[in-house]
């Protein structure tokens, strides 16, 4: 027996389902609607864009002002593929899009781009209002569960199971971080079952466990370290350094500097069982000067006072030195000076994906064509974080989500036009919904 079909007659037009109401899905829906499709957007939660809203909590970092080549390089192994998406829709296009919605943006001192008011909520509100006004039909509280035997999309809705027979669909179901916001990665089983090649989801832009002593964690968890310089080696052995800010957590270390290099650290742990991260706790002081100042007799001053006065090392910085060096080496100015410039931290594990800002892994690029259509499921396209790419924070995540939404929408239109033109391609016959009578016709 069929689940009841959603009443969605589409006289003359093409009906497209977009599943997932994050930025990737909303943007694909906008493009498809403006191209004249009848668009149904399905969202499992009671409202769309929950992760987008959370992203606005600390100031919505929409995109970045990097020049195009550098921008694309942020996607590391996927810079070629994501670079092609950015040719369709780049940072400038995203800023123009926001402006058109009445949300001007500015470039911060770090090069990051934010809405003038730093907030996500007004942008999302205006966007959803406009999408509805333009005719995108929103179905919240509808969780996609897979496909019926005839290819229809199946949903668990508020009144039970429903299905939709669409001409094409875009899945934009997000990655696996912060699952309470809706993107829980449950789609992996459905797509794997449909023969879609997946790379396992993994935490990205995440913190790491160090295994602090209980004493250190109790005293210093939550303490910011700014500025510090991180030193690390890439898999090819090349040495790199980056200045920024991080935070001591009860388990280890987190914050924007760590997130920026989390892919390398995570992969090193997977390969070697641990990763080495070295921190310069005194970026403003040369090693020789530090050694000279630490070697001065401290008289009656306590060691803590000496570290603070002679080298500006206090609070969590001094605590880190003690934690890593131990009490004996702390008496040796040479050991302290060296550790202050290159404090070795042995990272044991990435923090769980549920805590991460984003996830790596997902639908592999060899599972989709250039228009982001699933090779195993013609007529079904994918967009956003559920694809196998990752990027540091800095606005690169949202930009790629929008850009992939644009590419998937263009892919849908191209595919529909080729099918509509009488099948001028030589793909094998498909078993997709629109090759079958629509539910309402079939039931009539
Ligand atoms: C705390 C935090 C801060 C962030 N800050 C920034 C930032 O400043 N800049 C930046 O670039 N990025 C930031 N990000 C990352 C960014 O928000 C995500 O990369 C982006 O939202 C991913 O977009 P998406 O459309 O692919 O997926 P999502 O936004 O995750 O949306 C996917 C949607 O699909 C829905 N869904 C999932 N499964 C189903 C199903 N079976 N049926 C129906 N619907 C389903 C989900 O409920 C969800 O609404 C941040 C993330 C977090 C967690």
Question: Which residue, among 205, 156, 202, 194, has the nearest Cα to 382 in the 3D structure?
Answer: 194
Residue pair 402/88 in contact by the 8 Å Cβ criterion: no
Q: How far is the CA of 392 from the centre of ligand 1 (A)?
A: 15
Task: Provide the pLDDT confidence category of residue 381 given band limits of 50, 70 and 90.
Answer: very high
- Positive or negative CA dihedral for 39, 44, 47, 53? negative
- Measured CA to CA, the distance from residue 245 to residue 248 in angstroms comes to 10
Question: Which residue, among 347, 323, 361, 195, has the nearest Cα to 265 in the 3D structure?
Answer: 347
Residue pair 213/325 in contact by the 8 Å Cβ criterion: no
Can you give the pLDDT at residue 311?
87
If one residue of 51, 71, 95 were mutated to test the ligand 1 pocket, choosing by the most ligand atoms within 8 A of its CB, it would be 51
Can you give the pLDDT at residue 93?
98
Ligand 1 atom with the smallest distance to the CA of 386 is 26
Can you give the pLDDT at residue 4?
57
Task: Provide the pLDDT confidence category of residue 42 given band limits of 50, 70 and 90.
Answer: very high
* φ, ψ of residue 139 in degrees (nearest 5): -125, 95
Lowest mean pLDDT segment, chosen from 79-93, 131-145, 299-313 = 299-313
Residue 433, pLDDT above cutoff 60: no
Residue pair 40/20 in contact by the 8 Å Cβ criterion: no
Q: How far is the CA of 261 from the centre of ligand 1 (A)?
A: 21
If one residue of 182, 353, 387 were mutated to test the ligand 1 pocket, choosing by the most ligand atoms within 8 A of its CB, it would be 182
Can you give the pLDDT at residue 419?
86
Q: What is the mean pLDDT of residues 106-127?
A: 96
Ligand 1 atom with the smallest distance to the CA of 190 is 41
- Considering only residues 439 and 352, tell me which one the structure prediction assigns the higher pLDDT: 352
Ligand 1 atom with the smallest distance to the CA of 187 is 41
The model's pTM is 0.91
Over residues 338-348, the pLDDT tens digits come to: 999 999 999 99
Residue whose Cα lies nearest atom 33 of ligand 1: it is: 20
Can you give the pLDDT at residue 216?
97
Q: What is the mean pLDDT of residues 225-247?
A: 95
Lowest mean pLDDT segment, chosen from 140-144, 152-156, 304-308, 432-436 = 432-436
Question: Which residue, among 384, 364, 371, has the nearest Cα to 196 in the 3D structure?
Answer: 364
For 71-96, the DSSP string reads: HHHTTGGGHHHHHHHHHHS-HHHHHH
Q: How far is the CA of 180 from the centre of ligand 1 (A)?
A: 11
Q: How far is the CA of 51 from the centre of ligand 1 (A)?
A: 4
Q: How far is the CA of 369 from the centre of ligand 1 (A)?
A: 23
Over residues 49-73, the pLDDT tens digits come to: 999 999 988 899 999 999 999 999 9
Over residues 395-420, the pLDDT tens digits come to: 999 999 999 999 999 999 999 999 87
Question: Which residue, among 212, 239, 224, 257, has the nearest Cα to 348 in the 3D structure?
Answer: 212
Residue 428, pLDDT above cutoff 60: no
Q: Report the pocket of ligand 1 as residue ranges, CB < 6 Å.
A: 19-25, 42-45, 50-52, 54-55, 60-61, 143-144, 172-174, 177-178, 182-183, 186-187, 357-358, 384-385, 393, 395, 397-398, 401
Residue whose Cα lies nearest atom 5 of ligand 1: it is: 55
Beta bridge partners of 139: 42
Over residues 1-25, the pLDDT tens digits come to: 455 555 444 434 699 999 999 999 9
Residue whose Cα lies nearest atom 8 of ligand 1: it is: 61
Residue whose Cα lies nearest atom 46 of ligand 1: it is: 182
How many other C-beta atoms are found inside a 10 Å radius of the C-beta of residue 151?
20
Q: How far is the CA of 418 from the centre of ligand 1 (A)?
A: 31
Residue whose Cα lies nearest atom 41 of ligand 1: it is: 144
Can you give the pLDDT at residue 1?
41
Question: Which residue, among 81, 13, 34, has the nearest Cα to 370 in the 3D structure?
Answer: 81
- Identify whether 227 is preceded by a cis peptide bond (ω within 30 of 0): yes
Can you give the pLDDT at residue 5?
56
């Amino acid at each position: 027996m069929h689940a009841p079909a959603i009443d969605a007659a589409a006289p003359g037009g093409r009906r497209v389902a977009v599943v997932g109401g994050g930025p990737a899905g909303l943007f694909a829906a906008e493009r498809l609607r403006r191209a004249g499709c009848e668009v149904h957007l399905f969202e499992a939660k009671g409202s769309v864009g929950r992760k987008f809203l959370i992203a606005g909590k600390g100031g919505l970092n929409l995109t970045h002002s990097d020049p195009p080549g550098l921008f694309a390089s942020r996607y590391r192994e996927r810079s070629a593929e994501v670079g092609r998406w950015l040719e369709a829709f780049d940072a400038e296009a995203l800023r123009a899009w926001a402006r058109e919605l009445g949300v001007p943006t500015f470039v911060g001192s770090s090069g990051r781009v934010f809405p003038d008011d730093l907030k996500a909520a007004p942008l999302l509100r205006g966007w959803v209002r406009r999408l509805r006004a333009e005719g995108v039909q929103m179905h919240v509280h509808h969780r996609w569960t897979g496909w019926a035997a005839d290819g229809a999309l199946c949903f668990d809705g508020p009144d039970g199971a429903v299905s939709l027979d669409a001409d094409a669909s875009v899945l934009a179901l997000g990655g696996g971080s912060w699952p309470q916001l809706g993107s829980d990665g449950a789609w992996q089983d459905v797509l794997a079952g449909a023969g879609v090649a997946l790379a396992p989801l993994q935490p990205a832009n995440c913190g790491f466990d160090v295994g602090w002593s209980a004493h250190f964690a109790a005293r210093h968890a939550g303490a910011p370290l700014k500025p510090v310089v991180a030193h690390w080696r890439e898999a090819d052995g090349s040495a790199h350094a980056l200045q920024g800010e991080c935070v001591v957590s009860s388990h280890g270390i987190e914050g924007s500097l760590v997130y920026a290099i989390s892919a390398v650290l995570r992969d090193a742990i997977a390969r070697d069982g641990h990763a080495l991260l070295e921190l310069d706790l005194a970026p403003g002081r040369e090693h020789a000067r530090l050694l000279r100042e630490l070697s001065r007799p401290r008289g009656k001053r306590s060691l803590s006072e000496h570290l603070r006065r002679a080298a500006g090392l206090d609070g969590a910085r001094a605590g880190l030195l003690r934690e890593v060096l131990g009490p004996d080496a702390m008496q040796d100015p040479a050991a302290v000076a060296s550790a202050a410039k290159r404090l070795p931290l042995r990272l044991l594990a990435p923090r769980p994906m549920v805590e991460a800002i984003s996830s790596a892994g997902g639908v592999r690029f060899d599972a989709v064509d250039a228009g982001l259509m699933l090779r195993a499921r013609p007529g079904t396209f994918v967009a956003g974080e559920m694809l196998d790419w990752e990027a540091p924070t800095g606005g690169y995540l949202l930009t790629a989500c929008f850009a992939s939404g644009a590419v998937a929408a263009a892919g849908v239109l191209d595919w529909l036009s080729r099918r509509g033109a009488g099948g001028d391609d030589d793909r094998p016959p498909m078993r997709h919904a629109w090759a079958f009578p629509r539910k309402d016709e079939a039931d009539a």
